[in-house]
Amino acid sequence: MLIELREVSKVFSTPRGPVVALDAVEAALPEGKVIGLLGPNGSGKTTLLRILVGLLQPDSGEVRYAGQPLSREVCRRFGYMPEERGLYPKTAAKDQLRYLLQLRGFSRSDAEKEIRYWAERLHMPWLDRPARALSKGMQQKVQLTLALAGSPELLLLDEPFSGLDPIVAAEMEALLRERVAQGATLLLSTHRLEQVDTLCDYVLLIHKGRLYLAGETATLRRRYWQRLYEIETTTPVSALPWPVGVQVTPQSDYRALLQLPESLSASALLQELLPHTEVRFFAEKLPTIREIFLQIVDIA
Ligand code: ADP
């Protein structure tokens, strides 16, 4: 496993008393995957990312990357896009990029090379403009450039798609997938659980600082499957003789969601139905990650 979190805890002292941001989080994250760090606002996602990039120290516990403890040298191999997208409003985006890349250790000419490459790749012909003249999506691309420059082996992106229009979001997603296909590991946080079923290979679900669930998206969806099926028939579903115990939730005249009792297999159900209708479509309906989260955590 690429990243190991061992009982990582972090408590912030605030005027209202201590806030537990992370409570003994224990996880092992695979290499070369898109990993989603999921949870509602305030669940500890940003705190965990900040610990992983070395901006915060955990109060207790340990983080290891590729078998080594986190150090400044190790963190240099990471690209980070923070949640707060603070660019100086009056300075040209390009000048800020060059300055920040040089701070990160790029020579001036390497920084210029990176800027030229990403300006083309991310369609940013407007880098001469001051940040205040850029839309939120444009500013986000500038921040993403900082994370991607130098092809880091681990990308940590905090809510990378928030505030993006669907076209820019799709463009960004394709680019990130390409980096992962080339061997990078991507850890991204999001509170939009509906996005992650297709985006993430692996998910970590956290709530109020506690890790509730971690695993491969496909495995979790199968593990939490509740014998639900989707069917489309040529006879209206309301006119079919459903076997005892089948819960039928019509979606339209000819489509329904079915929950089968343990005692009835899918093939036995189809055998009973086929004398009465053709079956146009029949498939297992796996739960979404959002549904699984709602099932195991009370996000009230
Ligand atoms: P998320 O990224 O999931 O929205 P955060 O990691 O930002 O969650 O925050 C987790 C909890 O820790 C929240 O209750 C938040 O208010 C608190 N918190 C985060 N950073 C600080 C800080 N610097 N000082 C005090 N409390 C903080």
CATH architecture of structural domain 225-299 = 2-Layer Sandwich (3.30)
| pLDDT tens per residue, range 186-241 | 999 998 888 788 889 999 999 999 999 999 999 999 999 999 999 999 999 999 99
> What is the rounded (10 degree) CA torsion for 201, 168, 162, 214?
0
Ligand 1 centre distance from Cα of residue 82 (Å): 13
pLDDT tier, 299 (very low <50, low <70, confident <90, very high otherwise) = low
Residue 285 has pLDDT above 70, yes or no: yes
Instruction: Look up tokens 């420059």; give the residue.
Output: 149
Domain boundaries for CATH 3.30.70 within the chain: 225-299
Domain boundaries for CATH 3.40.50.300 within the chain: 3-222
Residue of the nearest CA to atom 17 in ligand 1?
21
pLDDT tier, 146 (very low <50, low <70, confident <90, very high otherwise) = very high
CATH, range 3-222: 3.40.50.300
Tokens of 135: 């839309």
Residue of the nearest CA to atom 27 in ligand 1?
12
Residue of the nearest CA to atom 21 in ligand 1?
12
Per DSSP, the three-state class of 178 is helix
Ligand 1 centre distance from Cα of residue 42 (Å): 6
Q: Ligand 1 pocket test: which of 8, 19, 25 has the largest number of ligand atoms within 8 Å of its C-beta?
A: 19
Ligand 1 centre distance from Cα of residue 45 (Å): 8
**CA 225, CA 295: separation in Å to the nearest integer?**
11
Ligand 1 centre distance from Cα of residue 55 (Å): 14
Residue 55 Cβ inside 6 Å of ligand 1? The answer reads no
